[in-house]
Homo-oligomer: A and B are copies of this chain.
Amino acid sequence: MSHPLFGPEVREMLAEHDTEGLRSLCDSLHPATVAEVLDDEFTPEQIWEVISPSDLRTQAAIFEYLPTSRQVEMVEGTGRPQVGKLVEKMSHDDRADLLRRLPARVREALLRLVDEADRRDIATLFTYEPGTVGSLMTTDYAWLPPSLTAAEAIDQLRQQAPDRETIYYVYVLGEHCRPPAGGGVATRRLLGIVSLRDLILAPRHAKIGDLMETEFVALKLDDDRKTAAETLARYDFIAMPVVDPDGGMLGIVTHDDVIDVLQQEATEDLQKQAGVGPIEGAYLEARFASVWWNRVKWLSAVFVAQMFTINAMAFFQVKIEAVTVLAIFVPLCLSVGGNTGSQAATLVIRAMALGEVRVADWVRVFRRELLMGTALALSLGALALIRTYFLTPEHLLHRADHLIQLTNTISFAVMGICLWGTILGSMLPIAIQKMGFDPALMSSPIIATLSDVSGIFIFFGVATLFFF
A contact set with B: CB distance below 8 Å:
1, 28-30, 32-33, 36, 154, 157-158, 161-162, 167-168, 196-197, 200-201, 215, 217, 231-236, 238, 255-256, 258-260, 262-263, 265-267, 269-271, 273-276, 279, 282-284, 288, 291-292, 295-296, 298-300, 302-304, 306-307, 309-310, 313-314, 317, 320-321, 324-325, 327-332, 334-336, 338-340, 342-343, 345-348, 350-351, 354, 356-357, 361, 364-365, 368, 371-372, 375-376, 379-380, 383-384, 387, 392-393, 396, 444-445, 448-449, 452, 456
Contacts and interface: CB of A to CB of B under 8 A. Distances in A.
A447 B389 CA distance: 27
Nearest to A312: B331
A340 B299 CA distance: 7
A345 B273 CA distance: 12
Nearest to A164: B197
B197 A296 contact: no
Given A259-B233, A314-B396, A371-B288, A270 B267 contact: no
B235 A238 contact: no
Contact of A310 (B1, B234, B256, B329): B329
A231 B233 CA distance: 18
Contacts of A201: 158, 161-162
Contacts of A265: 266
Contacts of A328: 310, 313-314, 317, 320
Contacts of A342: 274-275, 444-445
A303 B336 contact: yes
Of residues A168, A306, A343, which shows the largest number of chain B Cβ atoms within 10 Å of its Cβ?
A: A343
B331 A309 contact: yes
A347 B233 contact: no
B168 A300 contact: no
Contact of A339 (B256, B302, B379): B302
A376 B299 contact: yes
Contacts of A1: 217, 231
Contacts of A196: 168, 196-197, 200
Nearest to A233: B259
B267 A350 contact: yes
Nearest to A378: B296
Nearest to A217: B1
Contacts of A456: 331
A267 B62 CA distance: 32
A273 B368 contact: no
Given A262-B266, A275-B339, A338-B448, 4 more contacts: A30-B215, A267-B350, A299-B379, A303-B383
Nearest to A274: B346
Contacts of A256: 233, 236
Contact of A270 (B273, B282, B283, B300): B273
Nearest to A380: B303
A235 B276 CA distance: 30
Contacts of A36: 234
Contacts of A29: 215
B357 A32 contact: no
A175 B307 CA distance: 73
Contacts of A283: 347-348, 350-351, 356-357
Contacts of A372: 288, 291-292, 295
Contacts of A262: 259, 262-263, 266
Interface centre among A262, A282, A392, by most chain B C-beta atoms within 10 angstroms, is A262
A452 B331 contact: yes
B309 A445 contact: no
The 3 closest A-B pairs by CB, nearest first: A283-B351, A266-B266, A274-B346
Contact of A351 (B157, B282, B332, B444): B282
Nearest to A440: B270
Nearest to A269: B270
A276 B449 contact: no
Given A296-B379, A328-B320, A347 B266 contact: no
Nearest to A265: B266
Contacts of A356: 282-284
A331 B313 contact: yes
